[in-house]
Every structure is written in structure tokens, then in C-alpha cells.
């Protein structure tokens, strides 16, 4: 029997190996039992899905299980962005959500995310409770979807109108509509298809979508993750359309990547720094910033200048979402390109982040490369990169031991001033930069990340990080 474990953001596995209809039903039964014990079952559950192979049918199977457990289900009538599913939880006053998506994983994977009544990620201690309640398949309750629909236990619905109305309460898109921008949107064959054309219709701004059909093998990219090299094909259209900016969403549209007017990718740490600058300087907002340890120290520098607090968490929105709620954060985000915003749901929203970025361009009159200049005037240039390495499970204890024992005096020629073990091992360097070595919570991958103020030392820093892990 497959042991189902929830990682950084839910359970993900390879379709037809561990990710089967039986195992999806087992996970749904565990969530149903959790909801009953938590007193949330009577509030119902929202279920949605992405564009992956069989995702709609996996979502239907999950609905069959919850219905058989006496829990009303609002089942999306088509593939739906993750942030829209999260907002639907709040809109329906539901007890939580199930989202059938593997987000940015390769095409052969699918996933099972769960959300709390606020539409945010469920904290780790409750994920453990759900895992403990996942039964063998013989103990799963299930009824036919057709019967559940006719009995009113499952209701199909379209979340799009209320989600778009919510976005329009958060950002005034009218100036962007009239700005006359040429906006390239790389949909990555995913769930944001049609959203930007709808949101920005009726003005002088033109929206050009690419990779805007369903294709669950995700051509032209290794995975629908908005970082190089996956973004390269999409960015090649910037010159063709004369685009002022490229907005790139991942497969389930909760993450965003940005390309500038020259077709250059702006890394996700710089995008988070720009969003921080936008809220603090352009909008004049104030409030706490929540960030994972794997993202930029530019936010710490901005926070010091504008006198707002910064809270650092482990990697994943299962840590960020509860902290955002606790401190009423202005913004929360992580290195993956996922950002959440006050007044919305404590969940990444790549579509809203893209709208905010466009509004920053309107309000400043600057193109993306010029916005970076503004940011660097405030905090100085910062440089980032990361290496992902697959490993055999048998290697994990040895890698862990290597990293835990490491006490380098220098990394990339810079003195090490501190070691932080909130999530993985982060080595702080004399320039305020850092290198982080940690295992992915969703895949058999070890990541080595770095940020530094020294562009010429990035490669050496990453090389030393790989040596710390015993991988070089």
C-alpha cells in the first residue's frame, strides 16, 4: 500500500504509478475524516483541477468520496487557477478545498493539494493529522458522481466571475487597459488561459497569449515552471509582438515569472523585491512582510528603510500562509515566484501578481528594466541562481550528514558569518548574501540556492554549496 505523504505543498506522485484513482480516493477519505473531526464537514468543500492528464476525472473521484462521506462539494466546471479555487473557499464559506494539480512538476506527475477555510495552505501539524487518517482502499467510502450530482451532494459551478470581480476590488485595471501596453502572456499550457485578455479587454492595451491551449505534455519546456529554461521559448515572442513586458504563469497559475521589454527573464527574487518596492514606495502601503529563507534579502533592506517588520519562515506556503494570517502581512512570498497579498486569500496568486506588476509600470511610467534600476538605487544590485540535482533515496542520509557537519569559513571567497537551520542549512556571508542547501519537499531533488551582491562570485558560491552537499 502506497504511503501518502504531504510535502511542501501537498502530495505529488507519478501518474499510474503511485498517483492512481485508488490513492486519490484514499487521500480524499483522509481529508473527509479530518474535516469531520475538525467540525468543518458541514461547511462543504471546493474541488478544482488543472490541465494535466486525467485531472478532471481525478477531481471527480475525490468528489465521489467526499459526497459519500456526507460532505457537500462545489466542483469546478472546468480547469481553474489555484488562487481562484482558494478564493472560492472564502466565497462559499466552505470548510476547505481539494485541488488536483501538480503545479510546476513535470508532465508525468499529478498532485493533491488541500486548503483551509481561509483558502490558504494547511499548516504542517494538520497535514500530519490528515496523513494519519488516510485508510486502505477497502475503507474508502465512495458513490457515483452522477448520483451525487442528482442528489445535490455535488454542485458544479464556475468560479471565474466572482474571482475576476475580487481581482477588480484589489487593483484598478482601468489605467492598465488604457496604457497602450503590448503584454505577452505565456500561459504554459495551463490554467490562466483567457484571464488576462478578459481582465484587460476594452482598452488600448493588447494582450498576446502563447502556449494557450491544453497540452498535458507541455511542449517547449521541461515542466510548466516559470523559470529558465522553461520560459525561453515564450520569451522569444517578446520581439515578435513588440511586448513591453512578459507575464508567465505556471501550470496552475499560482506563480508568476516576469520578462522585460528586451525578452530577458527577471529572476523571481528580483520580482519579489520589485513587488515590495511597489507596495512600500509606489502605493505607500505599510505592513509586515513574510518571506521564506530561500528568497531575497532585498526585502530586509527595504523593510529597514520603510520601518516595517520582516518574518522569515521555512520554505512553502504551509508556513507562509499561517504567518501571514497571524501578523496581517502586507505581502508574503517565496523563491519559487509565488506571492500572496493582504485583502485577498493567504495563497499565491500569479494572476494578481501580474496585474500588480502592470500597475507598477503604469504608476511609475517605467518599463521592467527601468524598474530594476529604481530597485537597485534603493538596495544595490543583487544576483541569484540555483542548482537542482536529482538524487537516489539511498544518498539522502549521506547528503544530510555532509551538510549538517559543514562549517566552512568562506564560501565563494566570502567569509561565513552565520548558519541558519530553519529549513535546510543556510550559510550567511559577509556581504549579507547567502547560500542555502535543502531538499525539495515535493520531488527527489536537492537544491542549492544563492544570493549575493557580487555578480562575479555566483558560480563559485554555488560550486562551494555543491561541495558542502558532497555532490562535487
Average pLDDT over residues 451-463: 97
Q: Is 274 a residue whose pLDDT tops 90?
A: yes
Q: Is 442 a residue whose pLDDT tops 80?
A: no
Average per-residue pLDDT in the chain?
96
The answer on 464 and 446 residing in a single domain is yes
Residue 448 lies in a domain: yes
Contacts (Cβ under 8 Å, ≥6 apart) of 469: 389, 399, 402, 403, 437, 446, 448
- In degrees and rounded to multiples of 5, residue 152 shows phi and psi of 80, 5
Is residue 78 very low, low, confident or very high in pLDDT (cuts 50, 70, 90)?
Answer: very high
| pLDDT digits 0-9 by tens, 384-411 | 999 999 988 888 999 999 999 999 999 9
- In degrees and rounded to multiples of 5, residue 246 shows phi and psi of -115, 130
Query: Does residue 206 come out as left (phi exceeding 0), alpha (psi in the -120 to 50 range) or beta?
Result: beta
Average pLDDT over residues 262-290: 98
Output the domain CATH number for residue 420: 3.30.310.50
Residue 453 lies in a domain: yes
pLDDT at 7: 82
The answer on 216 and 87 residing in a single domain is no
| pLDDT digits 0-9 by tens, 113-150 | 999 999 999 988 999 999 999 999 999 999 999 999 99
Residue 332 lies in a domain: yes
CA distance 206 to 367: 16
The last residue of a domain, from among 364, 379, 394: 379
pLDDT at 244: 98
The answer on 138 and 286 residing in a single domain is no
Cα dist from 23 to 4, 11, 203, 267, whole Å: 8, 11, 48, 36
Name the residue with cell 530594476.
Answer: 372
| pLDDT digits 0-9 by tens, 15-24 | 999 999 999 9
The answer on 244 and 354 residing in a single domain is yes
The last residue of a domain, from among 350, 379, 408: 379
- In degrees and rounded to multiples of 5, residue 39 shows phi and psi of 75, 25
- The 3 state secondary structure assigned to 6-60 is CECCEEEEEECCCECHHHHHHHHHHHHHHHHHHCCHHHCEEEEECCCCCHHHHHH
Peptide bond into 229 cis (omega under 30): yes
Q: How many domains does the chain fold into?
A: 3
Residue 256 lies in a domain: yes
Output the domain CATH number for residue 53: 3.40.120.10
Q: Is 463 a residue whose pLDDT tops 80?
A: yes
Peptide bond into 433 cis (omega under 30): no
Is residue 8 very low, low, confident or very high in pLDDT (cuts 50, 70, 90)?
Answer: confident
Give residue 422's domain range. Answer: 383-468
Report the chain's terminal Cα–Cα distance, integer Å.
36
Q: Is 440 a residue whose pLDDT tops 90?
A: no
CA distance 66 to 63: 5
Count other C-beta atoms under 10 Å from residue 343's C-beta. Answer: 8
| pLDDT digits 0-9 by tens, 335-379 | 999 999 999 999 999 999 999 999 999 999 999 999 999 999 999
CA distance 345 to 5: 25
The answer on 324 and 398 residing in a single domain is no
Query: What percentage of the chain reaches a pLDDT higher than 70?
Result: 100
The answer on 373 and 287 residing in a single domain is yes
Residue 164 lies in a domain: no
The answer on 264 and 141 residing in a single domain is no
Average pLDDT over residues 176-196: 98
The answer on 85 and 210 residing in a single domain is no
| pLDDT digits 0-9 by tens, 147-163 | 999 999 999 999 999 99
CA distance 377 to 168: 31
The last residue of a domain, from among 125, 159, 193: 159
Residue 204 lies in a domain: yes
Residue 1 lies in a domain: no
The answer on 409 and 311 residing in a single domain is no
Radius of gyration of the chain, Cα coordinates, nearest whole angstrom: 22
CA distance 437 to 400: 10
Burial degree of 235 (CB within 10 A; 0-12, 13-18, 19+): buried
Spatial contact of 226 and 257, defined as CB atoms under 8 Å apart = yes
Q: Which residues pair with 249 in a beta bridge?
A: 256
Average pLDDT over residues 259-270: 98
pLDDT at 236: 98
Residue 5 lies in a domain: no
- The 3 state secondary structure assigned to 153-196 is CEEEECCHHHHHHHHHHHCCCHHHHCCCCEEEEECCCCCCCCHH
The answer on 187 and 209 residing in a single domain is yes
Task: Kindly list the strands in the beta sheet with 96-100, ordered across the sheet, starting from the edge strand earlier in the chain.
Answer: 11-14, 109-115, 96-100, 45-49, 73-76, 154-157
CA distance 368 to 371: 5
pLDDT at 10: 86
The answer on 432 and 372 residing in a single domain is no
The answer on 150 and 37 residing in a single domain is yes
- What three-state secondary structure class fits 291? strand
CA distance 459 to 198: 42
Contacts (Cβ under 8 Å, ≥6 apart) of 409: 415, 416
Amino acid at each position: 500500500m502506497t504511503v501518502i505523504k504531504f510535502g511542501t505543498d501537498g502530495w505529488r506522485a507519478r501518474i499510474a504509478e503511485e498517483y492512481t484513482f485508488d490513492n486519490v480516493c484514499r487521500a480524499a477519505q483522509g481529508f473527509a475524516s479530518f474535516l469531520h473531526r475538525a467540525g468543518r464537514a458541514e461547511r462543504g468543500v471546493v474541488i478544482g483541477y488543472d490541465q494535466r492528464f486525467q485531472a478532471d476525472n481525478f477531481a471527480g473521484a475525490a468528489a465521489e468520496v467526499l459526497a459519500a462521506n456526507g460532505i457537500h462539494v462545489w466542483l469546478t466546471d472546468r480547469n481553474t487557477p489555484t488562487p481562484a479555487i482558494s478564493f472560492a473557499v472564502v466565497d462559499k464559506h466552505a470548510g476547505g478545498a481539494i485541488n488536483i494539480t501538480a503545479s510546476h512538476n513535470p508532465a508525468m506527475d499529478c498532485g493533491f493539494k488541500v486548503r483551509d477555510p481561509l483558502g490558504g495552505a494547511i499548516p504542517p501539524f494538520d497535514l500530519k493529522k490528515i496523513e494519519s487518517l488516510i485508510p486502505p482502499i477497502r475503507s474508502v467510502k465512495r458513490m457515483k458522481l452522477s448520483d451525487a450530482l442528482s442528489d445535490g451532494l455535488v454542485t458544479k459551478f464556475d468560479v471565474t466571475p466572482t474571482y475576476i470581480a475580487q481581482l477588480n476590488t484589489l487593483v484598478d485595471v482601468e489605467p492598465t487597459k488604457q496604457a497602450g501596453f503590448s503584454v505577452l502572456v505565456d500561459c504554459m499550457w495551463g490554467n490562466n488561459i483567457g484571464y488576462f485578455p478578459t481582465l484587460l479587454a476594452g482598452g488600448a492595451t493588447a494582450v498576446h497569449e502563447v502556449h494557450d491551449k491544453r497540452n498535458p505534455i507541455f511542449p517547449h519546456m521541461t515542466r510548466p515552471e516559470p523559470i529558465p529554461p522553461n520560459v525561453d521559448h515564450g520569451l522569444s515572442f517578446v520581439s515578435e509582438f513588440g511586448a513591453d513586458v512578459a507575464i508567465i504563469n505556471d501550470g496552475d497559475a499560482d506563480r508568476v515569472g516576469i520578462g522585460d521589454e528586451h525578452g530577458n527573464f527577471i529572476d523571481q527574487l528580483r520580482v519579489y523585491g520589485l513587488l515590495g518596492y511597489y507596495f512600500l514606495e509606489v502605493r505607500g502601503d505599510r505592513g509586515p512582510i513574510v518571506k521564506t529563507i530561500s528568497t531575497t534579502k532585498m526585502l530586509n533592506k527595504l523593510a529597514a528603510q520603510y520601518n516595517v517588520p520582516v518574518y522569515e519562515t521555512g520554505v512553502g506556503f504551509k508556513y507562509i500562509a499561517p504567518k501571514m494570517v497571524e501578523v496581517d502581512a502586507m505581502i508574503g512570498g517565496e523563491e519559487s515566484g509565488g506571492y500572496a497579498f493582504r485583502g485577498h486569500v493567504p495563497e499565491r496568486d500569479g494572476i494578481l501578481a501580474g496585474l500588480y506588476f502592470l500597475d507598477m509600470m503604469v504608476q511609475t511610467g517605467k518599463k521592467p528594466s527601468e524598474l530594476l534600476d529604481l530597485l537597485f538605487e534603493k538596495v544595490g544590485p543583487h544576483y541569484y541562481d540555483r542548482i537542482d540535482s536529482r538524487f537516489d533515496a539511498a544518498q539522502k542520509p549521506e547528503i544530510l550528514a555532509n551538510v549538517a557537519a559543514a562549517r566552512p569559513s568562506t564560501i565563494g571567497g566570502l567569509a561565513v558569518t552565520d548558519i541558519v537551520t530553519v529549513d535546510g542549512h543556510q550559510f550567511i556571508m559577509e556581504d549579507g548574501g547567502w547560500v542555502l542547501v535543502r531538499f525539495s519537499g515535493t520531488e527527489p531533488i536537492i537544491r542549492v540556492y544563492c544570493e549575493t551582491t557580487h555578480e562575479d562570485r555566483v558560480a563559485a558560491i554555488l560550486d562551494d554549496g555543491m561541495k558542502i552537499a558532497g555532490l562535487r
